[in-house]
Structure 1
Amino acid sequence: MSPEPILDIAHLGHLELLTPKPQESLDFFVDVMGMTESGRSGDSVYLRGWDDYEYHTLKLTASAKPGMGHMGFRARSPQALERRVAALKDTEFAIGWTDGDNGHGPAFRCRDPDGHVIELYYETVRYEAPPALRPALKNQAQRFPARGCNVRRLDHLNCLARDIAANRVFFETYLGCRLTEQIVLDSGIEAGMWMTFTNKSYDFAYTRDATGSMGRFHHLTYAVDSREDILRAADIFLEAGVPIESGPHKHAVQQTFFLYVFEPGGNRVEIANAGARLILAPDWKPVVWTETERKKGQAWGLKTVESFHTYGTPPV
């Protein structure tokens, strides 16, 4: 009999993005992406999509180079957080406790085998819309902004890693993630993993870093409601002079309808459809894509642009 699944992590809560152009990046996320500022502290600004329930899902921090500062995962309960900390605290991956941040309480930090920083927390601040942003329908977090791309919520992130298998084992063992899809090369080397805490098909993905570097970032993704929203976003980016890297198009892996752009600080940002696939089967068998299958390109045969395989932040 297989061990009982670990269900201690509720979802991806937030991400800290580093930018060498803080004001330009802030203007991009507010005016072009359509996000709302929740607050500021030091060199950081806290942002959210219009239906994110927490105080923030994006912490934008001024830095010499672009990249990811950390990813934050919310536990399902105080006891669940304690169990994950107990599993991690005496390992090589542990960093230790922090007092928390704007929007959430004490957090335990650790590193995955590639060096990406992970923050685990439970206590959180729910967003309370001021009168001007209060929605007519009480079951959404905020009034629809009607600005830019109008991104709804944080969907997922993608990191680059030298050793995908080691990171997969880490997330399965210590955080209870489920693998839903993966890429395995003819050599047997794992080249990509898509993992979830929820019934979404993935909360995050890791793909192999073509440069052999460690700890780099690939992209973060905000969701909109439909494919039509993504097509409109392409026009909005065009008008705003935002560089479009790839899309609109459809991935073969996970079938996400996507559009990739670069924000002014140099980080890759994706807009995707919120109506993505759900994994309802508790005994889901991971889908394995072969090297030959991936060489066919994206869902409709379009080859993936070369920069998608080689570019990450910070740049090498």
Structure 2
Amino acid sequence: MTQNDIRHEIAHLAHAELFTQDLEGSLWFFTQLLGMRETARQGDSVYLRCYEDPYHHSLKLTPSDEGGLGKLGWRTTSRDALERRAAALDKSGLGAGYTKGDVGVGETFAFTSPDGHPMELVWDVEKYRAPDELRSKILTRTSKRPLQGLPPRRLDHVNIMASDVTEQKTLLEQTLGFQTRELVVDGSTEIGAWMSVNALGHELAIMKDATGARGRLHHLAFWYGIPQHNTDFAEIAREYDIRIEAGPDMHGVTQGAFLYVFEPGGNRIELFGNSGILQFEPDWETRVWDLQEFATGAGLAIGGTTMPPEFLLYGTPDVPAHAELAPSV
């Protein structure tokens, strides 16, 4: 298969699991402030969804001694596509075999990034069917907009931290067909990559972990589609003592309107206030930012927001050597 054919075998980011040090605090944040609805509980884990997410859940919260990424689920475009991508992952040495799946998720193929981030491919999923009282009059909306909090519409993207950005990027391009839309380089070293398998500007970002750690999460993002909602949620965050790290503002990279906050379980959450750049060109050429362009504001924050030092250093699980940079959440 050609690289272009491989691109169309992964459809989108379907679900993510977050480890949380404070399950009740995380539940309060996601259900009361972000208006996500609970769809199931199994063991110690709780399953949640945004009102336009298409499947049983998009977020799984699991208590843990440390925050971080439990698992990322990528839905393929067919069962055959899953099997082909699984074979490619096995050949690369990243595959971990088939699993029985989870609540609302059928059989999956487990794998890890070269840095050890847990991920899975899935085709068989339970599509969400709203009960009568939650059925929307808008036929393309899977459930009514919630009445509490300021609810985002869907899970949008994930940003992972890596000891070697190039290694992660190259293997995900070769095995899953991700297209690298934008890069940040420091001399000859790639320190950031924004990647996608569809029209979104990115569904996966990879940032170099300056601490030298491996397998950490930078942030998980949820989509509003309306920049004003980022400003509105910043007000809610101030009122309810949620730590705001940066924003509202807009990145030059991806042209995404951002607000970064920390949920009580210790994880960084981005609220994405617009669609960012949408890319329809089949032969898109990767845009490369040098570190100076990126750091002086054009890349990080067009509106002039100064990103704190923790933005490039803090991730979950936290690194004890840099505990002084950990946010107070």
Q: TM-score normalized by structure 2? A: 0.93
Q: Tell me the equivalent position of 1:40.
A: 41
Q: Say which SS state the counterpart of residue 255 (structure 2) adopts.
A: coil
- Superposed CA RMSD in Å reads 1.1
Deviations 1:3-37 (A, max 9, x none): 54311100001110001111111111000111111
Does the 8 Å CA contact 1:183/1:289 hold for their aligned counterparts?
yes
| SS of the residue 2:130 aligns to | coil
**Residue matched to 1:170:** 171
In the alignment, the residues of structure 2 paired with residue 42 and residue 241 of structure 1 have an alpha-carbon distance, to the nearest angstrom, of: 30
Paired letter, 2:235:
D
CA contact (8 A) 1:100 1:107 kept: yes
CA distance in 2, matches of 1:302, 1:47: 32
Q: 2:307 aligns with which of 304, 308, 313?
A: 304
Residue 129 of structure 1: how far off its partner (Å):
1.1
Once the 2 structures are TM-superposed, how far is the Cα of residue 77 of structure 1 from its aligned partner? 0.3
> How many pairs are equivalent?
314
CA distance in structure 1 between the partners assigned to 2:96 and 2:153 by the alignment: 32
Aligned to 2:106: 105
**Helix, strand or coil at the partner of 2:159:** strand
Find out whether 1:135 has 2:136 as its counterpart: yes
Helix, strand or coil at the partner of 1:89: helix
Amino acid at match of 2:231: L
Q: How far off is 1:90 after superposition?
A: 4.2
In the aligned structure 2, how far is the partner of 1:299 from the partner of 1:221? Answer: 19
One-letter identity of the residue aligned with 1:293? E
Verify: 1:114 aligned to 2:146, yes or no: no
Q: Secondary structure at the match of 1:5?
A: helix
Unaligned runs of 5+ in 1: none
Aligned AA (1:267)? N
Equivalent residue runs for 1:1-316 within 5 Å: 3-6=3-6, 7-186=8-187, 188-297=188-297, 298-316=301-319
Aligned mates of 2:109, 2:244 — CA distance in 1: 36
The answer to whether the 8 A contact 1:260-1:268 is kept is yes
Do the aligned residues in 2 keep the contact of 1:296 with 1:303 (CA within 8 Å)?
no
1:111 CA drift (Å): 0.9
| 3-state SS, counterpart of residue 236 of structure 1 | helix
**CA offsets, 1:53-111, max 9 Å, x none?**
11111011111110001111000001100101111224421111110111110000011
Kindly provide the amino acid, as one letter, of the partner of residue 135 in structure 1: S
AA matched with 2:197:
F
> Distance in 2 between the 1:121 and 1:51 partners?
19
Output one character per residue of 1:257-310: Cα deviation in whole Å (capped at 9) or x when no partner: 110110001000010124321100000001100011022122133332111111
Say whether the 8 Å CA contact 1:9–1:73 is kept in structure 2.
Answer: yes
1:151-176 residue CA offsets vs partner (Å, 9 max, x unmatched) = 10001010100000000011001101
Query: Shift in Å at residue 149 of structure 1?
Result: 1.7
CA distance in structure 1 between the partners assigned to 2:222 and 2:9 by the alignment: 24
Q: Residues of 1 paired with 2:217 and 2:4: CA distance? A: 32
Distance across 2 between alignment mates of 1:16 and 1:243: 22
Supply the AA of the counterpart residue of 1:217: L
Task: Give the 3-state SS of the residue equivalent to 2:151 in structure 1.
Answer: coil
What letter matches 2:105 in structure 1? H
**1:294 counterpart letter in structure 2:** F
Aligned residue type for 1:104: V
CA distance in 2, matches of 1:151, 1:34: 8
Residue 39 of structure 1 contacts residue 46 of structure 1 at CA under 8 Å; is this kept in 2?
yes
Secondary structure (helix, strand or coil) at the match of 2:174 reads helix
Alpha-carbon deviation of 1:314? 0.4
**2 CA distance for matches of 1:274 and 1:54?**
22
**Distance across 1 between alignment mates of 2:184 and 2:275:** 23
